A = this chain, B = another copy of it.
Amino acid sequence: MAENRSRPAIGRRPGETQTRGAILEAAECRFAEAGYAASLRSIARDAGVDPALIGHFFGSKAGLFIAAVRWPIDPAETLDVVLSRGPENAGSQLAAMFLRHWGEAENRSPILALIAAAQADAEAALLLRRFLLDRNLLPILEALGSDRRPLRAGLISGQLAGLGLSRYVYGMINPDEYSEEEIAKCVAPVLQHYLTESLE
C-alpha cells in the first residue's frame, strides 16, 4: 500500500519505474470509477502498456488494486497516536483516531473500496488482511505486550469494520445524529478490552 509507491527503484532501469508508475496512475483512475470490477485490459490500454506487464509488476489484479488504492493512514502514525497516552488509553486513542479518519470522505472512500474488494475477491482480502494485521494492529499489540495477538487483531478489525460500515454504509449509526466524540466514548472500552484485557 503506501510503501509500494515510494519503494526505491534500486536495480530497476528508469523505463521500468516509469512503466510501473503509468500502470498505477491508470489503475487509480479506473478503480475509482468502476471499483474492483475495472478490467486489467482497460488499465493496460490507458497506461499504454502490454497487459502482461501488470502481472510482472504487481503479481495479480488484487496486487495492483492494493497498490493503487492505498490505505490512507500511515501505520507509523497509527502506532504513535494509539500509544501516546499510555497503555490504559490505547482504546480511546484508537477509537478517536479511527472515527476522525472515517469522518473525512477522502479517507473513507479508499477504505470502503478496499473493503468492497476484500468482499469480492479472496486474494484482495488476503492482501488487505496482511497489511492491516502485520503492518498496523500486530505492532500495536506487540508494543502493548498483549497475549493472543492474532486473535485480538481479528477482533479489533472486525469491530472497526462493522462500526465504519454501520455509520457510513448501513446507516445504523447516523453521523448527523451521533458525533465522532460520542461514538468514540462508547467504543473506547470495547477496543481497550480487545487490546489489553484478559480474553479468558
Q: Mark A residues whose CB is within 8 Å of B.
A: 115-116, 118-119, 122, 125-126, 128-129, 132-133, 151, 153-155, 157-163, 165-167, 169-174, 178, 183, 185-187, 189-190, 193-194, 199-200
Contact = CB atoms under 8 A, between A and B. Distances in A.
Given A158-B172, A190-B194, 6 more contacts: A115-B170, A118-B169, A125-B170, A129-B171, A133-B172, A155-B163
A151 B172 CA distance: 8
Contacts of A166: 154-155, 157-158, 161
Looking at A153, A154, A178, which has the most chain B CB atoms within 10 Å of its CB?
A154
A158 B199 CA distance: 20
Q: Is the interface of A mostly helix, strand, loop or mixed?
A: helix
A140 to B, nearest CB: 15
A161 B167 CA distance: 12
Contacts of A189: 193
A187 B172 CA distance: 20
Looking at A119, A155, A157, which has the most chain B CB atoms within 10 Å of its CB?
A155
A167 B125 CA distance: 12
Nearest to A158: B166
B187 A155 contact: yes
A125 B199 contact: no
Given A178-B151, A186-B194, A160 B162 contact: yes
Contacts of A118: 169-170
B163 A158 contact: yes
B190 A159 contact: yes
A199 B170 contact: no
